[in-house]
Amino acid sequence: MSQHRTLRKALLGLSLSIVFPFAANAADDTIKVGILHSLSGTMAISESTLKDEMLMLIDEQNEKGGLLGKKLEPVVVDPASNWPLFAEKARQLLSQDHVAAIFGNWTSASRKAVLPVVEELNGLLFYPVQYEGEESSQNVFYTGAAPNQQAIPAVDYLMNEVGVKRWVLAGTDYVYPRTTNKILEAYLKQHGVADADIMINYTPFGHSDWQSIVAQIKRFGSQGKKTAVVSTINGDANVPFYKELANQNVDAADIPVMAFSVGEQELSGIDTGPLVGHLAAWNYFQSVDNDANYDFIDAWRAYKKDDNVVTNDPMEAHYIGFNMWVEAVKKAGTTDVDAVKDAIIGVSVPNLSGGAATMMPNHHITKPVMIGEIQDDGQFDVVWQTPSTVAGDAWSDYLPGSKDLISDWRKPLSCGNLNVETMKCGGADVGK
Amino acid sequence: MISRQLIHTFFSVLLLLGMALSLAAHAEDSADASQAKQLLEALDVRSYDAKGEAIKQLAQSDLPQKGEWLEALRDGRLQRQKDGGRFVIVESDQGREWPIKDAISGEELGTATRRDLDKVRINNQLRSQLQGLAATADLDSPDTGRREAAAKRLIGEVDETTADSVAVRLEQETDGDVKARLRTALGLYRLEQGEADAIDTLRGSLDPAVRNALRPIAAGDGPLADEARTALNGIEQKLKFNRWLQTLYFGISMGSVLVLAAIGLAITFGVMGVINMAHGELIMLGAYTTFVIQQLLPGQPGLALGLSIPAGFLVAAAFGIAIERGVIRFLKGRPLETLLATFGISLILQQLVRSVFSPLNRSVVTPDWLQGSLVINDALALTLNRLAVIVFCLIVFTALMIIMRRTRLGLEVRAVTQNRTMARAMGVKAARVDILTFGLGSGIAGLAGVALSQLTNVGPNMGQSYIIDSFMVVVFGGVGNLWGTLVAGMSLGIVNQVIEPWAGAVLAKILVLAFIILFIQKRPRGLFPQKGRAAE
């Protein structure tokens, strides 16, 4: 009988440990790392990859002996592509699980939802995706590109190297494309582009009928001046967009499309044969010829047990962000948020393209900017690159409201939006 | 004897001479080969500027293979073997095993795969440079399509050095389309020289270069400007007509997508009265069937697409029948519960696909004959994939009409929906009719998925984007009326495409929705309400 009972207990314990794998070893000898990426819903297509990548990075760090003599322990939650749920899950991670840092978010809308929570509970958030700028929080580290690390250099490339005179700014209708296009419009006008030579077009999420918009772009591009499309079209809508471009014979040599949200992963859903020559601007491409990159790709493929999985720019951002956090924790000797926040500024870690990324006082990092042309194997070929890395700028120099603002979180200044004209710190209200 | 010696000497001399000659020829051969190798090596560098220089040098050289190389380079078929570094030309990149030949000697080297070869890459600038180089050569091509493309590229590029040769070419040309292009190219050049009668040759041309050339002239004064203005007006008129036709085509195309997506729902919701929120996911299943069959038949996307039509129908129909048997039949007459249950099923199906196929979009290949467009003129081109969807939509609609009107099943379906009890009393097996009707409606959703896989994303979320539109079309057209669905889908498509250019895609969608809300307020039963006994 008693034997029976122990057996039952053991079975119960076993099943419990299967159901709650983390509950079993949730002791004080681990450092918890929160992963806040959607695993279901519309954004799962992009975010689930980043969750897997974080698990791989944490595994690797643990194999190297962990951090401060403790093992790292991932805490995965699923905010299900639902912006308010992001805030709730962030609160859960910080106040229940007491994670040392959160790696997460993709869309700007979800970041804006999480922002007040991490500020209130004094957490750390590493945000890995290119975004529109105009934001600075002492609790958020932006490892993706700010507009001056992607949009502005891309437009410079088109203007100077390709000789573009007419511009179509096409985007999905939400905060990132709208702000980016506002910055680009101001930038183009400063460079003498007339109003009539700029066409701005917004489409809803998941737009699938691009016939009349592509026809419009063709018409706009047939006025005798070199025309290019700068696309901030998001994720899913790109496939039908590019298909329509190919079918209406919009050749990359005539009207190139420069995309800010199309990477290797998005292209894996398209037959890229007819798209050869269209462009994308990122800070990393899988095709970058560098040993660190090859090691990373090999590790990732081994982890996923799939020889065809691709890597992309936000993955590199997480790679950098995670390594920076590890270095900062080592430097501070503790995972205490305030100590890490101070220690991480100035930390420099290798990126995947052979250079180094440094955390700047405005919580943005230095990145090289690359322009790639789509190849028929779904990869990009880098055709242009900035000679050195570019530091991210939180507040755009081309918008009237933000051009005098700077962000510097070093003590004693500690201000996210200092107006250099008046030397006053705007406090929490500006930019929200 | 002397003569014999003489002959002997003569032959030895001849032999020696021959040897010397062949040696010299060999030396020349290897000189050629090394020059060729050098020119190719120069192409295989990282810097695109250096590549551009190398292309220029190659074009100026007198190598016999240069035409072939430039063409192969432009098409991405000039590649290099990973081991050995030999330059090869891929003769066809269809399938997995590509036949290759040596670029220098032309010797056939069997086949190679993508993994064995490194492509000599080019960028946009080099691509247009190569196209320019090809244009002059292509004018001699026996292929009319090539000649026309080359002539088109000449428009706006003719100058005093080439004008005469283009004129000669125009004399020799036999094909009407190529002639028209060449005439336009020459006319533009003569217009630049200030020849007033050149405008006559440009009248009615829809090439954008012509408009751009005429516009500054028309803005001026004098007889030439008047002439240009009338020519420009004529062109604008023609252009307007073509644009109108194009918008109509876009509208019909969008309409046919709406009709395809909605027509299955018109059966399940319209005829049977079941609110099936998983309808979009049945469409998705059809699209994934296409993907799976293409995976099973690599290299034959056309055949796979053809097979997907029956397969997509069967898969979606099977899922539909399972949903009907498993859930819906227990909820008869309880629309709210049906709505909730089928919504749950839609989530389950989405997550199922996510788990089986990954949350990423899957790539469905469009066969070559569905790519590109049917070019009517410079301002009007009908994209082939959408043309195919329009035709497919009409075929499906006709077939469905025949089933409903002319077959025993159609008769029984109509009988059961009008009066279930009476139909059963007459010996109709109502449960069987339910299964078949729901299977039919679901199967047609699967067909819509097969068609949509050629137009848009194949991913777990694709169904969600069509469910609202489908209900909208069915309600607008009049519940239970297939003709209504056709008319409603087409008219919503056209209205949307007419509004979109000036209101933008977001506003167009809102306006169409607002219009439907107002319309339903006025006529709650839609465009073509059911009349008589069928109405209740």
Write the secondary structure of A229-260 as one string of H (helix), E (strand) and C (coil): EEEECCHHHHHHHHHHHHHCCCCCCCCCEEEC
> Which residue did the predictor score with more confidence, B10 or A189?
A189
On the 0-12 / 13-18 / 19+ scale of CB atoms within 10 A, B340 is: middle
Is some CB atom of chain B closer than 8 A to the CB atom of A202? Answer: yes
Per-10-residue mean pLDDT of chain B, 536 residues long, equals 57 56 54 78 82 84 81 83 83 76 84 78 81 73 79 78 80 82 84 77 80 81 82 89 92 94 90 89 96 90 93 96 94 90 94 86 84 84 92 96 92 86 90 92 95 88 88 88 92 92 87 92 85 58
Query: Which residues, in sequence order, are CB contacts of B6 under 8 Å at separation 6+?
Result: none
Verify that A106 and A161 share a domain, yes or no.
no
Q: What are phi and psi of A16, to 5 degrees?
A: -60, -45
What does R_g of chain B's alpha carbons equal in angstroms?
33
How close is the nearest chain A Cα to the Cα of B448, in Å? 15
Question: Does A6 score more than 70 pLDDT?
Answer: no
Verify that A334 and A383 share a domain, yes or no.
no
Nearest CA in chain B to A41: B461
Nearest CA in chain B to A249: B372
Q: Give the E-state strand segments of B303-424 in sequence order.
A: 373-377, 380-383
Residue A417 covered by a domain: no
pLDDT one-digit tens code per residue, A25-79 = 445 689 999 999 998 777 777 888 999 999 999 999 999 999 999 999 999 999 9
The pLDDT value given to residue A389: 93
Is some CB atom of chain B closer than 8 A to the CB atom of A196? Answer: no
- What is the rounded CA–CA span in Å between residue A118 and residue A138? 10
B465 contacts A206? CB cut-off 8 A: yes
Question: Does A320 score more than 60 pLDDT?
Answer: yes
Closest alpha carbon to B361 in A257, A235, A285: A235
A276 contacts B76? CB cut-off 8 A: yes
What does R_g of chain A's alpha carbons equal in angstroms?
23
A269 contacts B361? CB cut-off 8 A: yes
How close is the nearest chain B Cα to the Cα of A66, in Å? 31
pLDDT band at A430 (very low <50, low <70, confident <90, very high): very low
Question: Does A429 score more than 50 pLDDT?
Answer: no
Q: Best residue in A39, A47, A106, A211 to probe B by mutation, most B CBs within 10 Å? A: A211
Q: What is the ipTM of this complex?
A: 0.78
Closest alpha carbon to A88 in A109, A108, A111, A114: A114
Residue A38 covered by a domain: yes
Nearest CA in chain B to A385: B47
Query: Which residues, in sequence order, are CB contacts of B379 under 8 Å at separation 6+?
Result: B206, B238, B239, B242, B243, B246
B500 contacts A212? CB cut-off 8 A: yes
Tell me the β-bridge partners of A424: A419
Residue A224 covered by a domain: yes
Residue A82 covered by a domain: yes
B365 contacts A243? CB cut-off 8 A: no
Verify that A107 and A213 share a domain, yes or no.
no
Query: Which residues, in sequence order, are CB contacts of A110 under 8 Å at separation 6+?
Result: A43, A79, A83, A86
- What is the rounded CA–CA span in Å between residue A320 and residue A76? 20
Residue A421 covered by a domain: no
Tell me the β-bridge partners of A356: A350
Verify that A112 and A152 share a domain, yes or no.
no
B127 contacts A277? CB cut-off 8 A: yes
Q: What is the dihedral of CA B310, B312, B317, B323, to 10 degrees?
A: 170
The pLDDT value given to residue A22: 46
Total CB pairs under 8 A between chain A and B: 128
Into how many domains does chain A fold? 2
What domain range is A322 assigned to? 2-145+300-367
The token duo for A134 is 């105009």
**Are B430 and B415 in contact, with CB atoms under 8 Å apart?**
no
What is the domain-level CATH number for residue A252?
3.40.50.2300
Verify that A56 and A107 share a domain, yes or no.
yes
H/E stretch holding A280 reads strand A279-282
Is some CB atom of chain B closer than 8 A to the CB atom of A276? Answer: yes
The pLDDT value given to residue A192: 92
B371 contacts A274? CB cut-off 8 A: yes
Verify that A204 and A320 share a domain, yes or no.
no
How close is the nearest chain B Cα to the Cα of A204, in Å? 6
Partners of residue A373 in chain B, C-beta under 8 Å? 123-124
Report the DSSP pairing between strands B78-81 and B87-90: antiparallel
What domains can you pick out in chain B, each with its CATH number? 38-138 (no CATH), 243-535 (1.10.3470)
The SS3 call for residue A156 is helix
Residue A398 covered by a domain: no
Task: Choose the most confident range, by mean pLDDT, from A78-82, A183-187, B29-33.
Answer: A183-187
Verify that A231 and A256 share a domain, yes or no.
yes
Partners of residue B124 in chain A, C-beta under 8 Å? 162, 252-253, 256, 277, 373
Cα–Cα–Cα angle for A148, A381, A386, nearest 5°? 30
Verify that A76 and A39 share a domain, yes or no.
yes
In this complex, which of A224, A247, A376 lies closest to B384 when CB atoms are compared?
A247
Q: Best residue in B243, B250, B360 to probe A by mutation, most A CBs within 10 Å? A: B360
Verify that A18 and A116 share a domain, yes or no.
yes
Cα–Cα–Cα angle for A406, A152, A189, nearest 5°? 95
How is residue A144 annotated by DSSP?
S
Query: Which residues, in sequence order, are CB contacts of B336 under 8 Å at separation 6+?
Result: none
Which of A 356-415 lie inside 8 A of B, CB atoms? 373, 375-377, 381, 383
Partners of residue B362 in chain A, C-beta under 8 Å? 269
Verify that A15 and A111 share a domain, yes or no.
yes
pLDDT one-digit tens code per residue, A339-357 = 999 999 999 999 999 899 9
H/E stretch holding A358 reads strand A356-358
Give chain B's length.
Answer: 536
On the 0-12 / 13-18 / 19+ scale of CB atoms within 10 A, A55 is: middle
Verify that A167 and A244 share a domain, yes or no.
yes
Task: For residues A234-252, give the mean pLDDT.
Answer: 84
B128 contacts A247? CB cut-off 8 A: no
Partners of residue B252 in chain A, C-beta under 8 Å? none
Task: Choose the most confident range, by mean pLDDT, from A99-108, A226-235, B72-81, B524-533.
Answer: A99-108
Residue A415 covered by a domain: no
How close is the nearest chain B Cα to the Cα of A308, in Å? 13
Verify that A231 and A342 share a domain, yes or no.
no
H/E stretch holding A172 reads strand A166-172
**Are B363 and A242 in contact, with CB atoms under 8 Å apart?**
no
Nearest CA in chain A to B385: A247
